[in-house]
């Protein structure tokens, strides 16, 4: 005896019928006989009848089934399973290893990608995601994760080398992209903390500097941390040594911006006699002007098409003019001048409202403002009388001051020195690259394109710092833990890169995709109060599309290890009441 269910459509309507039937044989053929029509019964009643027929030989067990088995909402599983399989695909799981320290490190990377936060928040996140069941983690708390940063810093070189070998094998890259950035720190107790050029524009905050070494495809190979007052060029030597002794092989070309590879850095490359090192870099505007004066290059060569000049020493200069960048530079200069005009307006208002205010002080304030904005030369007049010229060379001297103003003139007038502004705009959108690569090795177009590839490192910094992984602010104190934190960010970016590539056709960011995957939860089967199994339901269409695009094979069941993760730090009473 069995329940025969069938769903069919008729006149744009869907019908489901349930028949209680039995099977019998007649003349050697199997036939079915309908005993009752159960179509009017509810779905729960139909399922109960099916369960009773399925267990008809052990009916005594059905009386206790509700008391013994519970089905509850389980843990979020979609994001963890996806990241786990992607980490296996790119070799990250094998590079880290199979120890508990390796699994904790992997969860730190996953937690950073899923939901950015501190080590404390990573522990709490493990309570809502199936981290322990998927990764095989034992119980841990936030102190374990802080110590795990030390383990990551200690094993960073081994992990980077393993990832490098698994990705390239014997075919090592011939070109490396390198750039640096910085992130501010909370507090002043970090061992790498120092005041320096703050790219985050956080005044009064100490910082740490770190550099990213990437291959020609923009895939990170290694990350290094430096003291916060380290200038860009001082970080370059360690990267040369790293490539020479760990990642090198054959002719290697370094690509860095004009603030990274300068004369001393070129000498460092040339000093490595055992290695065939080359470089591609940019030069500054004063260097371009110097080459123009010497006649090495000509202004007419800066066109929309790439041009090239080769010197007797074998150096090659690749030139180009970007009209879009020229428009942007002009707009920036005009915006700064509008800011200066507004400042003049404010000074005039103050002078008119305060009769005892000094006009000379107002002029000094105006000159300081002009110096800060770095504008070309301007003229300043008081009621039509020229009192001072403000020229770029004045900015080099702190002792230079505006002429004192005599009489009752109280209105400042500002105007551009047109000749200086025209001269300043001649090189708008013009840039020049410098390399020692021969023409046989790389054409001018290839050199230009490889330099433009530096945007991939800048995109990595953007993703790590603000767009997704949120490196800042950094709350750890020890230098080893700072390096471990930055290494977690680099490994997380490897996962983000792979998911970006997989989900490109879906027109969905990685953050949006992971937010969708986090909604896929298990149904937890609890027998006599003990969790035995996580059943994974069929994902809805949007989640299934993400899994398919990322080539994820979702398991139907997940064994429950019964591990409970908890934090040692509890909420204060003030936060509880808030």
The 3-class secondary structure across 432-475, one letter per residue, is EEEECCCCCCCCHHHHHHHHHCCHHHHHHHHHHHHHCCCCCCEC
Kindly compute the dihedral angle of the four CA atoms of residues 103, 109, 112, 117, in this order, to the nearest 10 degrees.
Answer: 50
- Bridge-based pairing of strands 175-184 and 252-255 is parallel
Q: What is the pLDDT of residue 203?
A: 84
pLDDT-based confidence at residue 236 (cuts at 50, 70, 90): very high
pLDDT exceeds 80 at position 192? yes
CA distance 30 to 472: 72
Over the stretch 60-112, which tens digit does the pLDDT of each residue have?
555 555 555 667 778 899 999 999 999 999 999 999 999 999 999 999 999 99
pLDDT exceeds 80 at position 303? yes
Q: Record the tokens describing residue 234, joined without a space.
A: 């001082």
Over the stretch 248-266, which tens digit does the pLDDT of each residue have?
777 899 999 998 999 899 9
pLDDT exceeds 80 at position 56? no
Q: What is the pLDDT of residue 559?
A: 75
pLDDT-based confidence at residue 400 (cuts at 50, 70, 90): very low
Is residue 258 a contact partner of residue 454, using CB atoms and an 8 Å limit?
no
Q: Record the tokens describing residue 515, joined without a space.
A: 């937010």
Q: What does the DSSP 8-state code read for residue 246?
A: I
CA distance 213 to 232: 13
**Nearest-10 crossing angle of helices 78-89, 479-502:** 90
Q: What is the pLDDT of residue 407?
A: 42
Q: Is 305 exposed, middle or buried (CB count within 10 Å of its CB: 0-12, 13-18, 19+)?
A: exposed
pLDDT-based confidence at residue 52 (cuts at 50, 70, 90): confident
pLDDT exceeds 70 at position 132? yes
Q: Is 117 exposed, middle or buried (CB count within 10 Å of its CB: 0-12, 13-18, 19+)?
A: middle
Please write down the long-range contacts of 456-462, taking CB distance under 8 Å and 24 or more positions apart.
456/177, 456/214, 456/217, 456/218, 457/177, 457/178, 457/179, 457/212, 457/214, 457/218, 458/179, 459/218, 460/212, 460/214, 460/218, 460/220, 460/493, 461/179, 461/181, 461/212
Kindly compute the dihedral angle of the four CA atoms of residues 405, 407, 412, 418, in this order, to the nearest 10 degrees.
Answer: -70
pLDDT exceeds 60 at position 539? yes
Mean pLDDT over each residue of the chain, to the nearest integer:
86
pLDDT exceeds 70 at position 394? no
pLDDT-based confidence at residue 452 (cuts at 50, 70, 90): very high
Kindly compute the dihedral angle of the four CA atoms of residues 336, 341, 345, 348, in this order, to the nearest 10 degrees.
Answer: 110
Q: Which residue has the tokens 């089934």?
A: 65
User: What mean pLDDT is predicted for residues 449-472?
Assistant: 89
Over the stretch 357-391, which tens digit does the pLDDT of each residue have?
988 899 899 999 999 999 999 988 876 666 655 55
Is residue 526 a contact partner of residue 72, using CB atoms and an 8 Å limit?
yes
Q: What does the DSSP 8-state code read for residue 404?
A: P
pLDDT exceeds 80 at position 49? no
User: What mean pLDDT is predicted for residues 29-44?
Assistant: 82
Is residue 16 a contact partner of residue 6, using CB atoms and an 8 Å limit?
yes
CA distance 224 to 490: 10
Over the stretch 213-230, which tens digit does the pLDDT of each residue have?
999 999 999 999 999 999
| pLDDT cut 90: percent of the chain above it | 52
Q: What is the pLDDT of residue 401?
A: 43
CA distance 436 to 278: 6
pLDDT exceeds 70 at position 404? no
Q: What is the pLDDT of residue 152?
A: 96
């Amino acid at each position: 005896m069995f329940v025969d269910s069938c769903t069919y459509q008729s006149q744009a309507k869907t019908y489901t019928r349930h028949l209680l039937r039995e099977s019998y044989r007649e003349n050697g053929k199997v036939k079915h006989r309908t005993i009752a029509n159960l179509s009017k019964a509810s779905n729960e009643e139909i399922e109960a009848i099916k369960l009773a027929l399925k267990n008809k030989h052990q009916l005594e067990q059905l009386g206790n089934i509700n008391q013994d088995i519970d089905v509850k909402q389980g843990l979020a599983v979609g994001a963890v399973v996806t990241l786990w399989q992607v980490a296996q695909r790119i070799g990250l799981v094998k590079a880290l290893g199979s120890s508990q320290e390796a699994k904790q490190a992997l969860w730190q990377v996953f937690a950073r990608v899923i939901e950015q936060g501190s080590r404390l928040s990573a522990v709490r996140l493990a309570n809502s995601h199936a981290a322990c069941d998927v990764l095989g983690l034992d119980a841990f708390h936030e102190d374990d994760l802080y110590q795990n940063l030390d383990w990551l810093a200690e094993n960073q070189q081994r992990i980077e080398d393993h990832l490098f070998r698994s990705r390239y094998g014997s075919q090592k890259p011939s070109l490396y992209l390198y750039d640096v950035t910085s992130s501010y720190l909370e507090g002043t107790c970090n061992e790498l903390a120092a005041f320096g050029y703050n790219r985050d524009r956080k005044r009064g905050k100490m910082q740490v500097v770190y550099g990213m070494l990437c291959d020609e495809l923009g895939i990170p190979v290694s990350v290094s941390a430096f003291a916060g007052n380290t200038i860009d060029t001082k970080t370059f030597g360690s990267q040369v040594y790293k490539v020479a002794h760990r990642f090198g092989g054959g002719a290697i070309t370094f690509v860095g911006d004009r603030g990274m590879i300068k004369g001393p850095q070129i000498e460092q490359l040339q000093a490595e006699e055992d290695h065939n090192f080359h470089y591609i870099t940019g030069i500054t505007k004063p260097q371009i002007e110097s080459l123009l004066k010497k006649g090495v290059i000509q202004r007419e060569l800066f066109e929309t098409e790439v041009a090239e000049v080769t010197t007797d020493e074998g150096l090659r200069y690749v030139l180009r003019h970007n009209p879009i960048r020229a428009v942007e530079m002009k707009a920036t200069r005009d915006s700064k001048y509008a800011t200066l005009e507004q400042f003049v307006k404010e000074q005039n208002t103050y002078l008119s409202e305060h009769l005892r205010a000094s006009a000379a002080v107002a002029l000094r304030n105006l000159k300081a403002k002009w110096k800060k904005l770095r504008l070309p030369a301007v003229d300043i007049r008081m009621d039509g009388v020229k009192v001072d010229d403000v020229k770029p060379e004045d900015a080099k001297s702190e002792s230079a001051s505006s002429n004192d103003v005599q009489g009752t003139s109280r209105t400042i007038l500002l105007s551009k020195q047109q000749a200086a502004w025209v001269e300043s705009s001649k090189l708008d959108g013009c840039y020049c690259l410098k390399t020692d690569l021969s023409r046989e090795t790389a054409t001018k177009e290839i050199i230009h394109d490889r330099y433009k590839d530096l945007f991939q490192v800048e995109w990595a910094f953007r993703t790590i710092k603000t767009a997704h992984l949120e490196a800042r602010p950094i709350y750890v104190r020890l230098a080893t833990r700072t390096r471990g934190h930055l290494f977690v960010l680099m490994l997380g970016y490897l996962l983000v890169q792979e998911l970006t590539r997989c989900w490109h056709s879906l027109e969905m960011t990685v953050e949006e995709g992971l937010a969708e995957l986090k909604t896929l939860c298990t149904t937890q089967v609890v027998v006599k109060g003990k969790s035995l199994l996580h059943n994974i339901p069929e994902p809805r269409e949007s989640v299934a599309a993400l899994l398919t695009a990322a080539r994820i094979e979702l398991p139907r069941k997940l064994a429950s290890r019964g591990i409970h993760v908890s934090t040692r730090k509890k909420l204060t009473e003030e936060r509880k009441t808030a």
